[in-house]
Chain A
Amino acid sequence: MFCLGIESTAHTFACSVVRYSFSQKGLVGKILSDTREVYVPPSGTGIHPRNASRHHCRAVENVFKHSLSSAKVSMSEIDIIAYSAGPGLGPCLRVGAVVARTLSAYHNKPLVPTNHGIGHVELGIMISGAKDPLVLLVSGGHTAILAFSGQRWRIFGETLDITLGQLFDQFGRSLGLPSPCGHKIEQLGKRAAGNYRFLPYVVKGNDVSFSGLLTSAIRSVNNKNEELSLGEISFSLQETSFAMVTEAVERALSLTSKTEFLVVGGVAANNRLTEMLEKACKRQKCKFYRCPAALAGDNGAQIAWAGILEYVGRGKHVQVEKASVNQSWRINEVDVIRN
């Protein structure tokens, strides 16, 4: 059986076909195709929602066709159509929803709206094989520490303002870099040769806050009296923010006594962050898992897999006329049944 997943929450328009079947271990999935096209804003600017949605409109045909052909599956063989219904940028979400509704109505297939964040988490669990992990979801849209209990992914800690991805993107943009800027800042930081300077370190219980850190880093760049190189600031920004997140994770691990930990989301591709998290897990005698970099960022497979869990797990699907989007859909508002 096959599910087509359609992702369009932010800069990525993606389609993916995931095959699913039942075994003794329960529901198992295999990713057959993973096709994406990413909107790249001009250097020094962020995602413009309308322009991103126009990019997605142009990308639909290629991405959709390629995802089916590379999976060697025809539309008639698809059993479920899943789309990302939120959270995300309104204009972008609506492109995915229109595509999903059209395909569902035309081919008469069940339509499943899914939560993008849950997609990240569930795909990470499927690939890593973790059973009951504490999850860190770090991306441009999320920075949250989650654990499953009482039919929901509950938040044990999160950012009180901007996300880790936004911290790097906004800092990078102030330097005129093209976003996403995380990788570029990682490269700049290597020039610092380990020279660290203090930046605001804000941990509030299990929560973190990055807005003061961002302001301080931008000010350090503009401060002509200080003999600080861009490399040193980039390095310090990474060290400080990652240490904050890792500390919050360590606190949550000790609070929940979980024995497994999983990191997912676009920023999970950063090696320094995963290195720090791995060390913290070792201290807490906790097994460390990470989502492979290739599937850490936004993709269609996460939507397909979340859709499969929703549809097969509890038969959830919606009528085409009721298939809407929700820009502000918090992950802890979704009831989930897991096997």
Chain B
Amino acid sequence: MPFSYAILLLHHQSRKLLIKGAEADIFLTDWFGRRAIAKVRTIKPYRHKSLDLEIRRRRTIHEAQMLSAAKSIGIICPHVYFVDPISCEIIMEFILAKNAKEIINPEISSQIGTYAGLLHSKNVIHGDLTTSNFLVEDKLYLLDFGLAFHSDRLEDKAVDIRLIKETFSSIHYPQFEALFSSFLQGYSTIQGNKMVKKLLAKVSSIERRVRYALN
């Protein structure tokens, strides 16, 4: 038995399911005496086996890589302790904080904008930029890099912006205007107003592509 499996077996015994997410199950576990999170991308029975394995493995590896990439840019996100691409799981830092989805306000939204600006300035695309992927304590944490990738295309950055806009206009619709404008304000502190303008033009060109959008 490889060494890594011995460790994992040990840790499997003291696990408690915290969240059954869409993408992965989140367990509370122990990592050498430290509270930790095990994010396990479980088998999706509805997907074809080979497609499922490929997606889960790719995203696990990606997430670990992109978490370190984000950290080197100055984004606060959980520390990775251990990655197992075979069982598709990552063991990472446990953070006790509130989900931004529950307590969103313009101030948090502006900080989210700053994070997005930082990521994009280094050509990192998050791929799932929604309020539920941010944790708020005294600091703002960004999670869930499973769909993240490197790209310098304006289109990819605009898709990130469109997604957070869609989140504001669906889940947080009563505060849409305030949240989105403070998001853009936060974004512009990193990227400048000129870039924000260019991005918004791209976002509206993406929005015109969707079904039954008015030109």
Contact = CB atoms under 8 A, between A and B. Distances in A.
Nearest to B130: A205
Interface in A200-257: 201, 203-207, 239-240, 243, 246-247, 250-251, 253-256
A246 B174 CA distance: 28
B51 A154 contact: no
Contacts of A26: none
Interface in B32-74: 44-52, 54-55
A253 to B, nearest CB: 7
Interface residues of A, number: 49
A201 B211 contact: no
A298 to B, nearest CB: 15
A277 B210 CA distance: 23
Interface stretch (B79-87, B106-114, B163-171, B192-200): B163-171
B93 interface: no
A62 interface: no
B147 interface: yes
Interface stretch (B6-14, B15-23, B116-124, B177-185): B15-23
A201 B206 CA distance: 19
Interface in B201-215: 206, 209-214
A119 interface: no
Contacts of B54: 198
A246 B22 contact: no
A275 B48 CA distance: 12
Contacts of A14: none
A155 interface: yes
B78 interface: no
Interface of A, secondary structure class, is: mixed
Interface residues of B, number: 37
Contacts of A142: 211
A149 interface: yes
Interface stretch (A15-23, A31-39, A156-164): A156-164
A87 interface: yes
Interface string A297-332: 000000000000000000000000000000111100
B129 interface: yes
B179 to A, nearest CB: 15
A263 interface: no
A297 to B, nearest CB: 18
> Which of the listed residues B101, B159, B210 has the most CB atoms from chain A within 10 Å of its own CB?
B210
Contacts of A194: 48
A129 B34 CA distance: 48
Nearest to B173: A150
A310 to B, nearest CB: 19
B30 interface: no
A328 B214 contact: yes
Contact of B210 (A156, A160, A251): A160
B22 A205 contact: no
Given A196-B51, A205-B163, A154 B170 contact: yes
29 contacts: A87-B212, A141-B211, A142-B211, A147-B170, A149-B170, A154-B169, A154-B170, A154-B173, A155-B170, A156-B166, A157-B166, A160-B210, A161-B209, A194-B48, A198-B54, A201-B55, A205-B147, A206-B166, A239-B47, A243-B47, A246-B46, A250-B22, A251-B23, A253-B22, A255-B132, A277-B46, A279-B45, A279-B46, A284-B22
Those 6 A-B pairs whose CB atoms lie nearest each other, nearest first: A276-B46, A254-B22, A279-B46, A205-B163, A87-B212, A251-B22
Interface of A: 86-87, 141-144, 147, 149-150, 154-161, 163, 194, 196, 198, 201, 203-207, 239-240, 243, 246-247, 250-251, 253-256, 275-277, 279-280, 283-284, 327-330
Given A141-B212, A161-B209, A203-B147, 19 more contacts: A142-B211, A154-B170, A155-B166, A157-B166, A159-B211, A163-B211, A204-B147, A239-B47, A243-B48, A246-B47, A250-B23, A254-B21, A255-B22, A276-B47, A279-B44, A280-B44, A327-B212, A328-B213, A330-B213
